[in-house]
Amino acid sequence: MGKRLVMPMIALLLYGMPSAVPAVAAPNPGPEVINLKMGVMVLPFQHRKHQKDLNNECFHCHTRESGKIDNWGKDTAHKICISCHDLYDKGPVECQQCHKK
């Protein structure tokens, strides 16, 4: 067999073989809505929408893989949520927009 045929034959063999690399699993979409507790208040958070908007880059809110946000509370919520909403000019940034009576 000539050298000119060796490379095309290898390419055909590799192309015809099933892939040895497993498909990457889709990221965990998590719940569609999460009710975030803020003292006695509960804020419905559109988790899946935010996950899509941030291209499944969970590190924007989560500092570790546990699915929790470290030190969750008023200061953390204001730091993460408001700064992101300001940056993208989307979502609530005024108190009454989140804190409905």
pLDDT of 26 = 46
Task: Judge contact between 61 and 69, C-beta under 8 A.
Answer: yes
The string of pLDDT tens digits covering residues 8-37 is: 555 545 454 444 444 444 467 778 999 988
Q: 50 is in which domain, residue-wise?
A: 34-98
13 part of a folded domain: no
pTM exceeds 0.85: no
Q: In the chain, how many domains are there?
A: 1
86 contact partners, CB below 8 Å, separation of at least 6:
93
The domain that holds 70 is classified in CATH as 3.90.10.10
85 part of a folded domain: yes
22 part of a folded domain: no
Q: Produce one character per residue of 5-19: b if its CB has 16 or more CB atoms within 10 Å, e if not.
A: eeeeeeeeeeeeeee
pLDDT > 90: percent of the chain: 16
Q: Which two tokens stand for residue 8?
A: 């095309």
23 part of a folded domain: no
84 part of a folded domain: yes
Cα 32 from chain centre: 12
5 part of a folded domain: no
Task: Judge contact between 47 and 35, C-beta under 8 A.
Answer: no
63 part of a folded domain: yes
31 contact partners, CB below 8 Å, separation of at least 6:
47, 48
